[in-house]
Amino acid sequence: MAWQRVLSAATRPALRTARSLATRGYHAVGSSSAPLVGDTWNRVNNQTLRALGTFSCRSLHGTSEKLQAAPVPQAVALSKLTDNFLDGTSSVYLEELQRAWEADPKSVDPSWDTFFKNFTGIAESAPGVSGQTIQESMRLLLLVRAYQVNGHMKAKLDPLGLDVRTPPVELDPALYGFTEADLDREFFLGVWRMAGFLSENRPIQTLRAILNRLERAYCGTIGYEYMHIPDREKCNWLRDKIETQEPGKYGSTRRARILDRLVWGTNFESFVAQKWAATKRFGLEGCETLIPGMKELIDYAADRGVESVVIGMTHRARLNVLGNVVRKPLRQIFSEFTGGIRPADEAGYTGSGDVKYHLGTSYDRPTSSGKRIHLSLVANPSHLEAVNPVVIGKTRAKQYYSHDKDRSKTMAILIHGDGSFSGQGVVYETLHLSDLPNYTTGGTVHIILNNQVAFTTDPKSSRSSPYCTDVAKALNAPIFHVNGDDVEAVVHACELAAEWRSKFKADVVVDIVCYRRFGHNEIDEPSFTQPTMYQVIKNHPTSLQIYEKKLVELGQLTQEEIKAIEDRVYSILNEEFNNSKDYVPKTRDWLSAYWGGFKGPEQLSRIRNTGVKPEILKSVGKSLSTIPEGFTPHRAVKRIYQSRAQSIETGQGVDWATAEALAFATLLVEGNHVRLSGQDVERGTFSHRHAVLHDQQTGAKYVPLDHVMMDQEDEMFTVSNSSLSEFGVLGFELGYSMENPNSLVLWEAQFGDFANGAQVIFDQFLSSGEAKWLRQAGLVVLLPHGYDGQGPEHSSARLERYLQAADDNPYVIPEMDPSLRKQIQEVNWQVVNVTTPANYFHVLRRQIHRDFRKPLIVMSPKNLLRHAACKSNLSEFDDVQGHDGFDKQGTRFKRLIKDYNFESVREESVRRLILCSGKVYYELDELRQSAQLKDLAICRVEQLCPFPWDLILRELNRYPNAEIVWCQEEPMNMGGFTYIAPRLATALKSAGRGAYEDIKYVGRPPSAATATGFGSLHVEEQKELVHKALQDAPIKNGLTA
């Protein structure tokens, strides 16, 4: 636009002088010297402002340094504008513009038309502005802009008044050459295509009125940051809301409701403090205004069609939010406080439990306008912010299942602490999912309980950015900082956030600047580390006292009315406390509608077969290997698809990727949802999956698995490349998987070892979530694993870590009778290292074909993806009696694959039984075949955890004279060995075959690095271990020294 060009031209000479003109008073407290704005225009403005500082003489704000008197602005003809404010080019440009306007006023932008009318004095409605110089016009605009960009730095945000910030010099009219004498002069302010007060039909205003307006809008108890958003429509929308709406103009009914909610928020804490004085509750004191803020946010969202809200939050304020926002019955909360009675109806499935401030819950809550809204607060571990992606994934799944395509029915709210929001990387990883097509939830409302301290650490030691919210700027989220003592401002900011989310379906942040009245928890002493802050806090009134005083002063409520509200709240709290003594919780409170009929570990669930009718296999097989007419795939991909089609047609040579696609397709036709996400999963890191085809001429995409049924719903099969985040994306998929059990949700790591970036999700959620929170999850985690000489970072998925987290007892053989067996229901998760495509197919299908859900960790292969021997026949996938794969029970996942050479129950001649898992099997078998060794048996432990006791015992008994070897390619301190050894020893003992020291280990020696980085050494090591496992002589290294 014209004015932009003029300005940027004007900037150049200004920039030249900027360096020498110093930044007098420019550095605001808490800010760096770098401009705080993101887009070029704003950067230009800041530079210009500094340059224009030459003209500023007297500070209207009384900044600490005295500025010199400003020259009185004089009207200057355009043709004379050759000073260093406008260089030659821009004045020529202006003159051209003026000539065009003189010839035809309509030929220029309407704002210039108005401008020139005023400038030349012909505007009818512009008395008194004809003396306004072009410099003044521009400087005035810069001043307005400065408020929009930096007004928040002068806002009154800190309730304690400790964060003394010098108002930024950009907000000083003197910087722009204005003096007191100008305050009552009228100025013309063009529309400049901006919303807000500039767009009102009042182009002429006094400087005083303009400044008042800006101060009120930007420097009150809400500080707005939005000028980093590079979108005119969004900025204008916000400008309109900020500059033309008066926050806090609420009527008496509304105020009474806000007060009522604030009373609940405040008195809940004091009541609990009084009843359980010595118990940690991580109270909300100091930020009680969160409760009315959240409730108004939810009411507002409900009025705009939101039916369900998923909430994730930290320890702080959790009980208050549970009771007052989610409306978990207070008697239940109080009962849990008293020590909690274990659920009575299904004793056994009570898990390990968790501390009260981690538990989640969900309820249907009526809103003030008579609607109902479903609220769920997701259970979470102590690890701050780790719940964020889980909440977002769950929200997305809810949207999928409620056909909420425009994402208006379900939304997420995340509540954060100031320290954790700026400190934890998962915050950023989650924010970054917000606009990805397969991960977006249409915007999350983030609320920060910014109590200006993290445990004992001050903000200046815990973050490098001025605000704790600055990370959200990277995602162009608007940020509303609000003084937590001003309840109406908090309510206003929360409403605005809900409105933003509803309008733009994007993230937004409300930063409630508050304080923490007590220590980190109630039994902590805060004055050890924050003495001055706590002196102030001691005498600081509560936000409730402040609000009550205000309402009484305004004459909106009397002291008696306020007391009546407080008495009512107290009596309900007391009543609930009394009722809590008899409260008996129901275990199944946690089950959402979709989980009805699912079984806990105490209820026996029969094992089902997973074979599929041959005709279904053929028909889905056809759709998943067919490329539509006119689509031009890459040549190599075409070949892969041809061989896929051929394997289905002939029933022979089905490879890994085809088996996976068959598992997905058969689950889809059975009505399940399938979702696979992770880095580069569409093609597959190892270029084997090709789930998405790319037309080599048009770039169009085709996903065969979207077409296994007629009119298949769009997202029913989802395969999606993710952002390059493990923690965020795994957390997201975990949350997604927990919503509905009829979904097969998979996350694939690029290489298995990268999963350690998501360790918190494995440790805190996946392996222990069911025990702690009684929440089941059937998430599948695919971790590429195997020693192919790719070096220490791409060989091992760290199998040992998943096995170490397994909770089955190595020394106790559980009930293994197939009709009574609950082993797999009782263990916390399953870990497999599967060696055939058919077994992979069945283990995936097994996830869904059972009445409970259990996480599945798969060590998935790399070189087996193309290995000639790693193929299955289609008959191993079907349910036809007599076909390979069909055994006594039918066709199902094989937890252990016995040696194909030996069938009898007793094979006395076998001198060694090699137990192994994963791809090393093929290397062992290859050497055995080439060496024609007949007296060696090799069994594959396909499911390491839970340990297949029955099958191991069967094999031990089959080979009564065999030496027992565990062979692995990983180092001794890694892989399956440390998990297998004690269990194998227990089995040996039970079979009367020996003890721990009778187990022979063949594998790499203990090592710090997972693998060698030297390719040749890898080959040597691998060869050596395979040869050793098959050597003639007995193996020496038993497990004792």
Ligand X SMILES: Cc1ncc(C[n+]2csc(CCOP(=O)(O)OP(=O)(O)O)c2C)c(N)n1
Residues that bind ligand X (CB under 6 A): 316, 382-384, 417-420, 449, 451, 453-455, 520
Residue 784 binding partner per list ligand X, Mg ion, none, with a CB distance cut-off of 5 to 8 Å that depends on partner kind: none
Q: Based on CB atoms, which residue is closest to Mg ion, 162 or 1017? A: 162
Please state, in angstroms and rounded to a whole number, the distance separating the CA atoms of residues 239 and 235: 6
| Residue 598 contact among Mg ion, ligand X, none, beta carbon within 5 to 8 Å by kind | none
For residue 457, the minimal CB distance to Mg ion (Å) is 9
By a kind-dependent CB cut-off of 5 to 8 A, residue 383 interacts, out of Mg ion, ligand X, none, with ligand X
Which is closer to Mg ion, CB of 418 or CB of 925? 418
Pick the closer one to Mg ion by CB: 462 or 592: 462
Sign of CA dihedral 728, 729, 730, 733: positive
Residue 212 interacts with, from ligand X, Mg ion, none (CB under 5-8 Å by kind): none
Nearest approach, Cβ of residue 516 and Mg ion (Å): 7
User: What is d(CA 507, CA 100) in angstroms, rounded to the nearest whole number?
Assistant: 44
Q: Alpha-carbon distance 498 to 115, whole Å?
A: 38
For residue 129, give the DSSP letter. Answer: -
Stretch in the footprint of Mg ion (CB under 5 A) among 409-417, 566-574, 666-674, 750-758:
409-417
Q: Is 363 helix (H, G, I), strand (E, B) or coil?
A: strand
107 binds, among Mg ion, ligand X, none (CB under 5 to 8 A by kind): none
Q: Are strands 886-887 and 890-891 parallel, antiparallel or unpaired?
A: antiparallel
Cα separation, 385 vs 784, in Å, equals: 28
C-beta closer to ligand X: residue 536 or 645: 536
Residue with Cβ nearer Mg ion (523 or 700): 523
d(CA 744, CA 239): 45
Enumerate residues 651-690 that contact Mg ion by CB under 5 A.
Answer: none
Q: How far apart are CA 836 and CA 894, in angstroms?
A: 10
The answer to whether 880 and 617 are in contact (CB under 8 A) is no
Task: For the CB of residue 855, give the shortest distance to Mg ion in the complex, in Å.
Answer: 33
Nearer to ligand X, 451 or 720 (CB): 451
Residue 521 CB, nearest approach to ligand X (Å): 9
If you ran DSSP here, which 8-state letter would residue 708 be given?
Answer: S
Residues between 415 and 454 with contacts to Mg ion, criterion CB under 5 A = 417-419, 451, 454
Give the whole-angstrom CA distance, residue 948 versus residue 941: 8
Task: Give exposure, 750-779, as e/b (b: 16+ Cβ within 10 Å).
Answer: bbbbbbebbebbbebbbbbbbbbbbbbbbb
Residue closer to ligand X (CB basis): 101 or 773: 773
Nearer to Mg ion, 438 or 457 (CB): 457
Q: What are residue 764's DSSP bridge partners?
A: none
- Min separation Cβ 282 and ligand X, Å: 7
**Tell me, what amino acid is at 852?**
F
Q: Which residues pair with 618 in a beta bridge?
A: none
Q: Looking at beta carbons only, is 348 or 425 nearer to ligand X?
A: 425
Q: Whole-number minimum distance, CB 681 to ligand X, in Å?
A: 28
Annotate 1000-1025 with three-state secondary structure. EEEEECCCCCCCCCCHHHHHHHHHHH
Query: In the bound complex, what is the minimum distance in angstroms from residue 501's beta carbon to ligand X?
Result: 23
Q: How far apart are CA 734 and CA 727, in angstroms?
A: 11
Choose among ligand X, Mg ion, none what residue 358 binds, the Cβ cut-off being 5 to 8 Å by kind. Answer: none
CB of 459 to Mg ion, least distance (A): 9
Minimum Å distance from CB 93 to Mg ion? 52
Quick one: tokens of 338?
A: 């008293």
Q: Which residue has the tokens 């009505």?
A: 671
Strands (E), 195-297: 204-206, 222-225
d(CA 770, CA 350): 9
Q: Please choose which of ligand X, Mg ion, none residue 316 contacts, taking the beta carbon within 5 to 8 angstroms, the exact cut-off set by kind.
A: ligand X
Please state whether the peptide bond connecting residue 946 to the residue before it is cis, i.e. omega within 30 degrees of 0. Answer: yes
384 touches which of ligand X, Mg ion, none (CB within 5 to 8 A by kind)? ligand X
For residue 738 the two structure tokens come to 């927990």
- In one-letter notation, the amino acid at residue 289 is T
User: Among Mg ion, ligand X, none, what does residue 382 contact (CB within 5–8 Å per kind)?
Assistant: ligand X
| Piece of the chain touching Mg ion by CB under 5 A; list 413-421, 600-608, 672-680, 895-903 | 413-421
Q: How far is the CB of 767 from ligand X (least distance, A)?
A: 17
Cα(845)–Cα(49) distance, integer angstroms? 65
Short-list 147, 145, 150, 139, CA closest to 29: 150
Nearer of residues 117 and 383 to ligand X, judged by Cβ:
383
Report, in Å, the least distance between residue 15 CB and ligand X.
Answer: 40
**Helix H or strand E encompassing 963:** strand 963-971
Judged by beta carbon distances under 5 to 8 A according to partner kind, the member of ligand X, Mg ion, none in contact with residue 393 is none
Kindly tell me which of 241 and 481 has the beta carbon lying closer to ligand X: 481
Which residues ranging from 136 to 195 are in contact with Mg ion (CB under 5 A)? none
Q: How far apart are the first and last CA of the chain?
A: 82
> Measured from the CB of residue 423, what is the shortest distance to ligand X in angstroms?
7
Residue 455 partner contact from ligand X, Mg ion, none using kind-dependent CB cut-offs of 5 to 8 Å = ligand X
The residue among 365 and 520 lying less far from Mg ion, judged by its C-beta, is 520
CA distance 256 to 261: 9
User: CB nearest ligand X: which residue?
Assistant: 417
Tokens of 751: 């290489």
Closest approach, Cβ 477 to ligand X, in A, equals: 18
Nearer to Mg ion by Cβ, of 289 and 720: the residue is: 289
What SS3 class is residue 745? Answer: strand
Point out which span in 9-17, 62-70, 334-342, 411-419 binds Mg ion (CB under 5 A): 411-419
Count of CB atoms situated within 10 Å of the CB of 859: 26
The partner in contact with residue 999, picked from Mg ion, ligand X, none with C-beta cut-offs of 5 to 8 angstroms by kind, is: none
Quick one: 454 or 659, whose CB is closer to ligand X? 454
* CB of 449 vs ligand X, minimal distance in Å: 5
CB of 30 to ligand X, least distance (A): 17
Question: How many Å separate Cα 385 from the centre of its chain?
Answer: 9
Instruction: Spell out the residues 6+ positions from residue 594 whose beta carbon is closer than 8 angstroms to its own.
Output: 401, 739, 740, 741, 742
Partner whose footprint covers residue 420, from Mg ion, ligand X, none (CB < 5 to 8 Å by kind): ligand X
User: Which residue lies nearer to ligand X by CB, 417 or 704?
Assistant: 417
Distance CA 749, CA 784 (A): 7
Told to check if 484 binds Mg ion by CB under 5 A, we report no
Q: Give the interface with Mg ion as residue ranges (CB under 5 A).
A: 417-419, 451, 454
